[in-house]
Amino acid sequence: MTKIFLQTSFENDLYKEQNHKKSKLFSYTQPIDFYDPVEFFTYQSSTFHGKRFFWKSSDEQLWTVGLGIAATISVDDAEERFQDSHTKWNQLLKDANIENPARVPGTGPLLFGGFSFDPYSEIEDEWEAFGHSILYLPSYMLTVTENQTYLTINAFSNNTVSAESLREEANKLVQQLKNDEKLLKENPIKIKNSIEIAPDKWIRSVDEIVNILKTTDTKKVVFARKLLLEFEESAQPSYIIKKLLEQQPDSFVFALEVGDYCFLGASPERLIKKIDHDVLSTCLAGSIGRGKDIIEDQKLGEMLLHDHKNLFEHELVVSMIEDALRPYCTDINIPAEPVLMKMPDIQHLYTPVRGKANEDFSILNVVENLHPTPALGGVPTKAALSIIREKEHMDRGFYAGPIGWTDYKGNGEFAVGIRSGLINRDKAYLYAGCGLVSDSVSEEELKETRIKFQPMLKATGGEIL
């Protein structure tokens, strides 16, 4: 079942499930003077709490922040969640009145949100509000791209809304932003407790999975675990976002609020990007830590580039991405060998996959084809997911799922929701995983997950594990 919740006016914060055919989308976009995206995220935070999103692309070419919810698309059907989301988005846009002179990707009506990693896993309490998928059309959206800032306003109405009235609403908000005194005080996060969830049990499960890999046709399983943080007081997502931007400048930084929960992180891994006809996906699989100095770091990088286990794991992902894109792309280009992508705490094998979108391309359908890649699930996918459900003993929720945006022109970008955590007031769950193959060693895999906890741990002021 697909649900669409429409907000019918700027002042009304009560969302009513309606027949969307009775309401029409009106959208207006205008360029404005630069306004800091993080400050926009914190604007009237008490009013917009639980109804915000934040996105910064890994190359910093696009920032977009949403406040308020004009419409929500939420799909309960596990099998059809991508296709139904695509269909309902097109229905909302069908008769929309859109005024966007800029026509720049990432402006105008835009959906932001994500999908759970596995809709067939048992949902735990912390992820219940997210469901299998949730996508927001914001009431107010700031976009910073190509050295220009844009403000978009979206509203639904049963009556005709003039462009002039939306322009007046936009100008009113711009003036309010200029006059905002930014009185919000953000206190540093203080961690009261940091608890690794059953690490000994996790190690035993790794050994069991490795034995399965040695004795069956399953080649790889990506196995995850979680870390519980308890804070002395409620953590503010904006504080963590600022730290992630400072500490992980080459990552996708994202946040998605659903009520009192906020899923956020700094992912190094793009799932798919489409701008006009240009398509880019990336393979990020195989990893090793960073060195204490340049010489050690180079040695570790060389080890990774020649490590059989990691190269095998990487090639599985490259092959799967190529197969997933072929029905939707022409002129696919893949380098013969991976290179290193160096992040502050870890370095990965990296291969970009480029192509040109054909007429069948739909970004949500391609996301469905790509998810989960072998870097997040395993090979073969069905067998790996079965093992994950049996052995992992947790609900990943949106961790390792697709998160990102798509606009009314079909442009968009989705990352993989890793290096991430779920914040709920005075506690948080952080998530990390590793790729298991037949020669994996459980103690080494535990160390790898501890490295992958670091981006979120650092952003929340935690100690290195």
Active site residue ranges: 220, 269
Q: Can you read off the two tokens belonging to residue 89?
A: 């988005």
CA atoms lying within 13 Å on the CB side of residue 442: 14
Output the DSSP codes for 259-272.
TTEEEEEEE--EEE
Containing H/E element for 274? Answer: strand 270-275
Containing H/E element for 354? Answer: strand 346-357
**Closest alpha carbon to 268 in 292, 294, 249, 286:** 249
Is the distance from CB of 246 to CB of 458 less than 8 angstroms? no
Strands (E), 122-214: 133-145, 148-157, 191-196
Bin 130: left if φ > 0, else alpha if -120 < ψ < 50, else beta: alpha
Measured CA to CA, the distance from residue 141 to residue 68 in angstroms comes to 9
Which residues neighbour 424 within 8 Å (Cβ) at sequence distance 6 or greater?
A: 126, 260, 261, 262
Bin 182: left if φ > 0, else alpha if -120 < ψ < 50, else beta: left
Measured CA to CA, the distance from residue 216 to residue 208 in angstroms comes to 12
CA atoms lying within 13 Å on the CB side of residue 162: 3
Which DSSP state fits 199? Answer: H
Is the distance from CB of 12 to CB of 133 less than 8 angstroms? no
Alpha-carbon distances, residue 70 vs 5, 11, 16, 91, 464 (angstroms): 8, 11, 11, 15, 41
Q: What is the 3-state secondary structure (H, E, C) of 69-104?
A: EEEEEEECCCCCHHHHHHHHHHHHHHCCEEECCCCC
Which DSSP state fits 143? Answer: E
Which residues neighbour 126 within 8 Å (Cβ) at sequence distance 6 or greater?
A: 261, 395, 397, 422, 424, 429
